[in-house]
Structure 1
Amino acid sequence: MSRILIASDAWHPQINGVVRTLERLARHLPELGAEAIMLTPDGFNTVPCPTYPEIRLTVAPPGSIARKLDAVDPDHVHIATEGPLGFAVRRWCIQRRRLFTTSYHTRFPEYLAARLPVPVDWSYGVLRHFHNAGAGCMVSTRSIEQELRGRGFRNLMRWSRGVDAELFHPGRNRAVLDLPRPIYLYVGRVAVEKNIGAFLDLKLPGSKVVVGDGPALDGLRRAHPEVSFLGTRVGTDLADIYAASDCFVFPSRTDTFGVVMLEAMASGLPVAAFPVAGPRDVVGNSGAGILDDDLQAAALAALAISRERCRQVALQNSWQSATRQFLDNVTGVHRTFASHAFA
């Protein structure tokens, strides 16, 4: 069984698409004959991320990380995030001349620019330097691939996402939300880059529900006392809330994918979103949602979409197929390296 070390600065107790994706990857890789060895902030000293204390950044001497990697001696290294841990593992790979891949999950340049006066092009320059050192950079959608290629990123490979269709389905307990209908739902981090205000400011009949936590929560709760803020929910609690709602509103303009949209559709919820990368790739012209620059019009029109159609579209995306795609990328770069080495 091949041993793949996956390094990620994002891990529990964080709840986000990166963590969910890596959890599923680690779960399904053994089914394909590979073992996932997770290298995360667990076991290291950490400090809170400036402006986002829920995220903890690893503080460890490079030598201690290098010793861990030497002891594991994996067959392949995949670096999932561009944080302190990711940079330390990248350094080890380059020093040891070890093949590695990376993945691009988050638009950090836009997220940083939303908080600090840092030019987006500068940040992309750092990310380009980080990812181009690897044998391949995995991206989740065609839109992101085109965008990064235009910014000079090389060796881009597709790695999609999936959904747990057994957990998220329309037949769950719809009585958990005793609110006027229709119920419009948002699930995700409550942070400035998610553009949640664009959803909460809409003039919609019925009720609005927000599930999630983050640095913008207190401010939004004060500004919108009419909205039901339910905090963080996971597992069956989250699945029940999806099934009990009528429309999923995804106001983000910066997400690279949006696993929550698949979870919503698997639960029978139509999606209302802006026509940008993420929604364009996940929903597109599938008939499971409405994409419109007028988010209010999209939310109202989405109510006419059948729950059955939404479920059908979501079922086209499984974590098993996403894991196979990841492993094919890894084996592919090793085949390419071997053919070049013996050419």
Structure 2
Amino acid sequence: MTENHPPVTGDLEAILLVGGQGTRLRPMTLGVPKPLLPTAGVPFLAHQLARARAFGVRRIVFATSYRASMFCEAFGDGSAYGLSLEYMTEEQPLGTGGAIRNAAEALTSPPDAPVLVLNGDILSGHDIGDQVRTHVARGAAVTLHLTEVEDPSRFGCVPTDETGRVTAFLEKTPNPVTNRINAGCYVFTRSVIDTIPYGRVVSVERETFPGLIEAGELVLGYADRSYWLDVGTPAAFVQGSRDLVLGRLASPALPGPTGEHLVLPGAQVSPEAKISGGSVVGARAVVESGANVSGSVLGDGCVISSGATVIDSVIGTGARVATGAVIRDAVVGDGAVVGPGNELLAGTRLWPGVVLPECAIRFSSDT
């Protein structure tokens, strides 16, 4: 799958919101921020950076908080991605609006310029360039990417009128008025960002956007039905990595061809092992003869022993899955060991360093 969207003209700046702790993904995020988790062979944000660059973004300000120094360590000045990167850190979490306002101190755009704002935990195939051009053409204060979901009651919904103007932001309700939700990609006019209070907690969803609507400013909805995924849970994280490897969402950052699997350098995969479903085999990982791995993410240096089965799961760095073990829809933390004959059922999370002896079947969601 390829994309041929024209880039945005000019030097577009962006803010990338990466301050969250990723608690829903624990234990995967105990030592690594969610946006840095290995996803289809590279840190998750590498996919966002590559797509932003393809759409004409040239400079990005990271809005960091949790383990802030790790972002600079991972991406440096951005030259490897053809970008200029800056880092702004919140000493205390400031919410979405406060984070945007804090990061804006590093922007160089003039007051009337569009500024792209991206949530750091979203995979999206929508046309960012067209969203920016629509924002500029309509003279909007803010233009929000909206996506359609089957169950909007889980997210809250964003109704629009016939012109695309957003009319309200509705909290989660059992009877939503629309199936369109906020998809986590915004285009702000720079001067609007500067009206957000500086140095305090602000929510764009509960304060900034409703305030702009009430004041009569144009808050525009850019709705489409392209690929979209919030990777905030283990199941969604696995799905995102799998979809990138399979080519369901194109990414310039994918370190290899799309297909049934992606095997990173130094990995050892037996010819008698079966690797399928968009699985990733991490660097220096070992998959032995007779092992069956489908739709999963195998961390660097892990070992999947002969006859083991791993389905739709995450196996952490240096973890070991012994002969005959079965793991489905589960997370095995870094350095953990699953002994022979164990079966980890859907929702199980095995924390780093835990060792399960032989045939110690686990049903709990946290171990």
Q: TM-score range by the shorter chain?
A: 0.3 to 0.5
RCO higher in structure (CA 8 A, sep ≥6)? 1
Structure exhibiting the larger radius of gyration computed from Cα positions: 2
Pick the structure with more helix per residue.
1
Q: TM-score, normalised by structure 1?
A: 0.33
